[in-house]
Chains A and B, each alone.
Chain A
């Protein structure tokens, strides 16, 4: 009798303990929780440094931007994080539309270049990256292929089954590609292009950085990704990596940071946003291999990004891209599914 009562008490206690614990940690001021849309090692380094410098206990979880967006929608009434850090701002615009983020103009934003921050202060840019092609020279040589130099090249029969790209449904990188093509070609032509392109694709990955890695590893001949990610992999030892940018012009991303609506610990969150916009923190990125261009006027871009600074860019409309995200992704999924991979 006693024993079983004891068991039940333990059970109940453990359960109520669990509840209390979560309640407590929310009450404790000076903790910060953020969703990271940039690479895991970059986010981990930033979290650690911020904690070291301010004493604010910092948690993060890395997710692709589609996942962050979905999570924010699901948690709308019970937001568990307070900052969204990194990842293309198209997704931030979509979040703004859905009333999931709130404006915060950091004092530090004055040093951020014009055009790289939202005029209403919903998001602020932390870096800029160019979309492009990444190839594996060894694989190209073996197959007697040249590195593709344009969007049109990608449809050539010799590249069939050699291309890896992320899926726009889950990856901000891939959505940047989708939005770039639509802005470049017009929507219907872009969809026609993508339907054909679908037949060339070896695999759609979940995360936008994966194609770069896979090209580096020789798991695929060609990947589509942000070029700074490709540079990172090359630096890590994937020596066969080569990069190129489409001659028609390419899209780019502004990586953003934003304050989540009704998130806990707003004060710590604002402190964090101020801090990540500084020259010092922006320049810290390159220590973990993040070679994007920086948005702070005073920050020195990493030397590694130098070779791509003259890439031909389209006039990418972030606002439009963000507002049309759901619709375009939906259309992409439906139209490419009509030629769904049957293997």
Chain B
């Protein structure tokens, strides 16, 4: 009891301090409102809708969702896809990461480069290439091997495409971990007479198990939430994310759509919770950030040459997937007529520029807001104490685990109506569906978690005493933030900028629910063209998209190095 009282007293004290600093206070209120309104309200409405049948509370929608054997198959499909994709991605990612950190192998830069490809390219690229390569008229299946009825649409195609898109995530996570292992630990066991294999199985591997589990769950979450790939290449293999769209937007069966959404949400949130609160805590690696000395890399050619060849072939394959798209955009009809042509681009310039311009404009607006907002949030979470802090932290980070389709569905249900301030006639939020604002908000919410996370981790590395010093010298907290904190986390700020721009430009799952006649966006346009079989135009759009994202990225990089924030 006393404890509680003490705690309340403390909280009140913090509150008091806050009211002395109105800017900070307003910022916190603003952040709380934004996060609740655009993450929690839509989720709540999805939940509410899923339990509403004919305007009363009921389990009917869930009964329908589970009652139809088709849906049960879809749920199992989704789980199977998640497990297999995550397992394979992990194996390949680990192979890449282990080889580059433990062996003397050239080309590390190339491997790092392919790890970046999935971030800057629209999610259809790999799926589209897979069709160009392995479809019935595919270059490899038909052209090279003469197989006429190879089936790329379906589970196998989907796994291939997802693994190629997601293994870089596993690679990036594991490579950091492996490089963080202090070689002296392994050498100690070598000195005690353990064989290389023994060292690997009893020292190295156990050390990275939490990392492996982390990577597995992260890829799993991505895989089950993925919308673009299943819709393009899934064929008759339907996943929950696709079904939510079909029911919600295709059939306007909001009840079933929301019930399925809750099932998907519970899957990915539980994985996320396991990852974050169980596995993250179990990390065995004492991260001092620095290893005591460089590792003796394996130089034995019998090992390195075959490994190198495998790595290079995998890499070439991935690069091939990405190169095919620009090529495909310059030929008349893939599989039929390979005459070079500019027709597809001409069509886009004549009729299809709107999506390109609109997407870029909205993405730029969203990017600027996201970067600023996420730094403010990160600052509040790491440096300040206030009521609702845990709430903000948990909600923003949790947004990572909410599948995009569910946010989209939630927005459709939630923002088609006017919100009034209770008991008055003053409009708080007008209907937002069909406006640019809702799209910008969706962009922001989708990239906020990563921005906040990168802001948080760079803040955590900076000793608060620097800020305290400024504060003691009489600076207000906004002054501290703008002239002390921000300069120190510039790098995270700019990498957040690049990331949210790329992410907004290539987002599919959420905005597929939000496009309107006035606001047409690139990714749905690409998807529509793929679905109606206009592969050339789809490829041309993808190429333009990749060029825009890369240009912005390079410009930003040059800009950053010019103003000297690079380490």
Q: Contact at A1–B479, with CB atoms within 8 Å? A: yes
Would you call A340 and B23 a contact (CB within 8 A)? no
CB distance from B246 to the nearest CB of A (A): 6
A54 on interface, CB distance cutoff 8 Å: no
Q: B473 CB to closest chain A CB, in angstroms? A: 15
* A247 at the binding interface (Cβ < 8 Å): no
Cβ-Cβ contact count across A and B, 8 Å cutoff = 192
Nearest chain B CB to A193's CB is how many angstroms away?
A: 19
Once the chains are docked, how many angstroms separate the CA of A8 from the CA of B430?
21
B465 within 8 A of A: no
CA of A35 to CA of B153, assembled, Å: 30
Nearest Cβ on chain B to A159's Cβ, whole angstroms: 13
Which partner residue on chain B sits nearest A204 by CB separation?
B236
In the complex, the answer to whether A337 meets B533 with C-beta atoms within 8 Å is no
Q: How far is the CB of B250 from chain A (nearest CB, A)?
A: 4
Separation of A71 and B148 alpha carbons in the complex (Å): 40
**CB pair B436 A22 closer than 8 Å:** yes
The answer to whether A80 touches B516 (Cβ under 8 A) is yes
> Given A18-B440, A70-B251, are A8 and B69 also a contact pair (CB < 8 Å)?
no
B431 touches A70 (CB 8 A): no
Cβ-defined partner of B533 (8 Å) among A14, A73, A216? A216
> Quick check: is B352 within 8 A (CB to CB) of the other chain?
yes
Contacts of A219 in B (CB 8 A): 131, 135-137
A167 to B352, CA, bound (A): 27
The answer to whether B236 touches A203 (Cβ under 8 A) is yes
Instruction: Please name all residues of chain B whose beta carbon is closer than 8 Å to the beta carbon of A48 when the two chains form the complex.
Output: 350-351
- Is B435 interfacial (CB 8 A cutoff)? yes
Knowing A39-B532, A40-B528, the reply to whether A74 touches B416 (Cβ < 8 A) is yes
Say whether B71 contacts A22, CB under 8 Å.
no
Query: Closest Cβ of chain B: how far from A43's Cβ, in Å?
Result: 9
Judge whether B172 is part of the interface by a CB distance below 8 angstroms. no
User: Which residues of B from 268 to 298 have beta carbons under 8 Å from A?
Assistant: none
Q: Please, what's the 1-or-0 string for A31-64, where 1 marks a CB less than 8 Å from any CB in chain B?
A: 0011100011100110010000000000111101
Chain A positions 322-343 with a Cβ under 8 Å from a chain B Cβ: 329, 333-334, 336-338, 340-343
- B385 interface residue, CB < 8 Å from A? no
Using Cβ atoms and an 8 Å threshold, which residues of chain A touch B235? 202-203
Residues in chain A near residue B155, CB distance under 8 A: 343
Chain B neighbourhood of A176, CB < 8 A: none
Would you give the 0/1 interface string for A1-13, flagging 1 where the beta carbon is closer than 8 Å to chain B?
Answer: 1011101101100
Segment of B54-62, B103-111, B202-210, B329-337 in the binding face: B329-337
| Any B CB within 8 A of the CB of A218 | yes
How many Å lie between the Cα of A212 and that of B440 in the bound state? Answer: 36
Residue of A nearest to B152 (CB): A219
Which residues of the other chain, A, contact B36 by a CB distance below 8 angstroms?
none
Known: A75-B433, A142-B148. Contact between A340 and B27, CB under 8 A?
no
B154 at the A/B interface (Cβ < 8 Å)? Answer: yes
Residue of B483, B516, B518 contacting most chain A CB atoms (<10 Å): B518
What residues of chain B lie closer than 8 Å to A61, measured between beta carbons? 515-517, 520
- Cβ of B476: which chain A residues have Cβ within 8 Å of it? 1
A22's partner among B136, B137, B435 (CB-CB below 8 A) is: B435
Which residues of chain B come closer than 8 Å to A341, judged between CB atoms? 73, 236-238
- Interface bits B320-352 vs A (CB < 8 Å: 1, else 0): 000000000000111111000000000100111
Q: Is the CB of B27 within 8 A of A4?
A: yes
B531 touches A22 (CB 8 A): no
Give the distance in Å from the alpha carbon of A8 to the alpha carbon of B483 in the complex: 16
Complex: chain A residue closest to B142, CB-CB: A218
A161 to B272, CA, bound (A): 39
A290 within 8 A of B: no
A81 CB → nearest B CB, Å = 5
How far is A254 from B531 in the complex, measured between Cα atoms in Å?
A: 23
> Interface-forming stretch among A107-115, A125-133, A236-244, A301-309?
A236-244
Complex contact A205–B531 (CB within 8 A): yes
Within the complex, the shortest CB–CB distance from A90 to chain B, in Å, comes to 15
Complex alpha-carbon distance, A316 and B515, angstroms? 34
For B440, what are the chain A residues with a Cβ–Cβ distance below 8 Å? 18
Distance A39 CA – B249 CA, assembled complex (angstroms): 19
Separation of A118 and B292 alpha carbons in the complex (Å) = 82
A80 touches B518 (CB 8 A): yes
Query: Is the pair A40, B246 in contact by a Cβ cutoff of 8 Å?
Result: no
Partner of B352, one of A25, A44, A236, A338: A44
Tell yes or no: A209 within 8 A of B by CB: yes
* A177 interface contact, C-beta 8 A: no
**Is A101's CB within 8 Å of the partner chain B?**
no
Total interface residues in chain B, CB < 8 Å = 75
Looking at the complex, which one of B231, B249, B369, B516 makes contact with A70 (CB distance below 8 Å)?
Answer: B249
CB pair B434–A217 under 8 Å, yes or no, is no
Q: Give residues of chain B (430-444) contacting chain A, Cβ–Cβ below 8 Å.
A: 430-431, 433-437, 440
Expressed in whole angstroms, the minimum distance between the Cβ of B410 and any Cβ of chain A is 13
Nearest A residue to B231 via CB reads A206
The answer for the CA separation of A39 and B368 in the assembled complex, in Å, is: 36
- Return the contact of B412 from the options A74, A207, A218 (Cβ within 8 A): A74
Interface positions of B from 1 to 45, Cβ below 8 Å from A: 23, 26-27, 30
A11 to B337, CA, bound (A): 51
**Contact of B352 with A238 in the complex, beta carbons under 8 Å:** no
- The CA of A236 and the CA of B339, in the complex, are separated in Å by 13
A102 an interface residue at 8 Å Cβ cutoff? no
Are A11 and B520 CB-contacts (below 8 A) given A39-B532, A71-B249, A74-B412? no
Given A4-B478, A11-B373, decide whether A18 and B435 contact each other with a Cβ distance below 8 A: yes
Q: Are A60 and B351 in contact (CB under 8 A)?
A: no
Q: Is the CB of A4 within 8 A of B70?
A: no
Which B residues are CB-close (under 8 A) to A213? 532-534
A160 to B430, CA, bound (A): 52
A170 to B532, CA, bound (A): 13
* Cα-based distance from A80 to B332 in the complex (angstroms): 37
B419 on the A face (CB < 8 A): no
* Residues on A with beta carbons closer than 8 Å to the beta carbon of B333: 217, 236-238
Interface contact A19-B335, CB-CB below 8 Å: no
Q: Find out whether the CB atom of A333 lies under 8 angstroms from the CB atom of B533.
A: no
The answer on a CB contact under 8 Å between B69 and A338 is yes
Q: A207-B532, A210-B531 are in contact. Are A22 and B412 (CB under 8 A)?
A: no
In the bound complex, residues from chain B placing their C-beta under 8 Å from that of A336 are 70
Contact indicator A5/B236 (Cβ below 8 Å) = no
Q: Contact at A74–B352, with CB atoms within 8 Å?
A: no
B236 to A69, Cβ gap below 8 A? no
Per-residue CB contact flags for chain A residues 179-215 toward chain B (1 = under 8 Å, else 0) read 0000000000000000000000111111101101110
| Minimal Cβ-Cβ distance residue in B for A48 | B351
Q: How far is the CA of A202 from the CA of B483 in the complex (A)?
A: 62
B529 within 8 A of A: yes
Q: In the complex, are the beta carbons of A35 and B336 less than 8 A apart?
A: no
Q: Considering the chains assembled together, what is the distance between the CA atoms of A126 and B502 in angstroms?
A: 42
B residues neighboring A (CB under 8 Å) = 23, 26-27, 30, 68-71, 73-74, 131, 135-137, 148, 151, 153-155, 231, 235-238, 246, 248-252, 332-337, 347, 350-352, 365, 368-369, 372-373, 376, 412, 416-417, 430-431, 433-437, 440, 476, 478-479, 481-483, 515-518, 520, 528-529, 531-535
Nearest 4 CB-CB pairings of A with B: A213-B533, A337-B70, A341-B236, A18-B437
10 contacts between A and B (CB under 8 A): A5-B478, A7-B372, A18-B435, A19-B437, A35-B517, A40-B534, A41-B351, A69-B252, A218-B336, A237-B332
Name 5 extra pairs, CB < 8 A, besides A44-B352, A74-B252.
Answer: A39-B532, A78-B417, A203-B236, A206-B250, A217-B137
